[in-house]
Amino acid sequence: MKHTLKKTEAGKGQKQMNDVFLQFVSKVVFFIVIMFSFNLFFAGHYTPGGGFVGGLLAASALILLLIAFDKKTMEKMIPINFRLVLTVGLLFAAGIPTLSFLFGTPFFTHQHTYVEIPIFGEVALHSAVLFDIGVFLTVAATALFIISLVGEAED
């Protein structure tokens, strides 16, 4: 009760050993999860899903790699600066609504249109998707950032 967060001595200096199963499986599952997160993201327009859930799922895929390997390996696998991702996401989320001023409409007014694309048929294009990309990037980067902050080894 007094100290629920006991300092764990185990795991210190103990290199990750034979995580063959976890490492192999997570390499495969990573792509499945990422694809599902994109699916959720694009589904979000008319059905449940959207930027937030998609972003969380993308972050969870990256966290899976983080668990299976370690931080250095993950950074080597995915050489992306997540602070920059976070900033770009914020810029999208704030900038796209602001762009509507150029059309003389109030903040956050979205434009949409329908386009005919050969294989997919009629596709709805909506400027809200751009905003959602911002949400996606921000959520994914923030979640990853927080988890890696908590998970950092004590030094």
Partner 1 sequence: MEIVIIILAGILIGAAVYLMLSKSLIRIIIGTAIMSHGVHLMLLTMGRLKRGSIPVLDEEVSNYSDPLPQALILTAIVIAFALTAYTLVLALRSYRELDTDNVEEMKGVPHDD
Partner 2 sequence: MTTNILPLLPIMIPFFAGIIMLFVGKRPIAHRVIAAISGLLLILSALWLVVHVYQNGTIVTFLGNWAAPFGISVVIDMAAALLLTTTAIITFLTVVYSYQSIGIERETFYYYVMVMFMITGVNGAFSTGDIFNMFVFFEVFLLASYVLITLGGTKIQLQEGFKYIIVNIISSNFFVLALAYLYSVTGTLNMADINVKLEGFDGNYSIMSLVAVVFLFVFATKAGVFPLYFWLPGSYYAPPMPVLVLFGALLTKVGVYAIARTYSLFFIDNTAFTHQMLLFLALLTIVMGCIGALSYTDMKKTIIYNIIIAVGIILVGVAMMDETGMLGAFYYLIHDMIIKAALFMLVGFLIYRTGETNADRLGGLIKIHPFTGWMFFIAALALAGVPPLSGFYGKLFIVQSAFENGQHIAAIIVLASSLVVLYSIVSLFIKAFWGEEMDFNTLKPVKSGKILFASIAMVIVSIAFGLAADVLYPLFEMAAQSFYDPSSYSQYITEVE
Kindly list the residues in this chain that would bind partner 2 in the complex (CB under 8 A). 83-84, 86-87, 90-91, 94, 98, 101, 104-110
By the rule CB under 8 A, 8 interacts with partner 1: no
- Say how far apart CA 147 and CA 67 lie, in whole Å: 11
Q: Give counts: helices (H), strands (E), the chain.
A: 5, 2
Q: Which of partner 2, partner 1, none does residue 4 bind (CB under 5 to 8 Å by kind)?
A: partner 1
CB nearer to partner 1: pick between 29 and 90: 90
Q: Which of partner 1, partner 2, none does residue 3 bind (CB under 5 to 8 Å by kind)?
A: partner 1
CA atoms within 13 A on the CB side of 132: 21
- Say how far apart CA 134 and CA 89 lie, in whole Å: 4
Q: How far is the CB of 21 from partner 1 (least distance, A)?
A: 29
Instruction: Determine which helix (DSSP H) or strand (DSSP E) holds 132, and give its type and residue range.
Output: helix 128-151
Q: Which of partner 1, partner 2, none does residue 150 bind (CB under 5 to 8 Å by kind)?
A: partner 1
The residue from 4, 8, 14, 18 that contacts partner 1 (CB under 8 A) is: 4
Burial of 37 (0-12, 13-18, 19+ CB in 10 A): buried
Residues that bind partner 1 (CB under 8 A): 1-5, 52, 142-143, 146, 149-150, 154
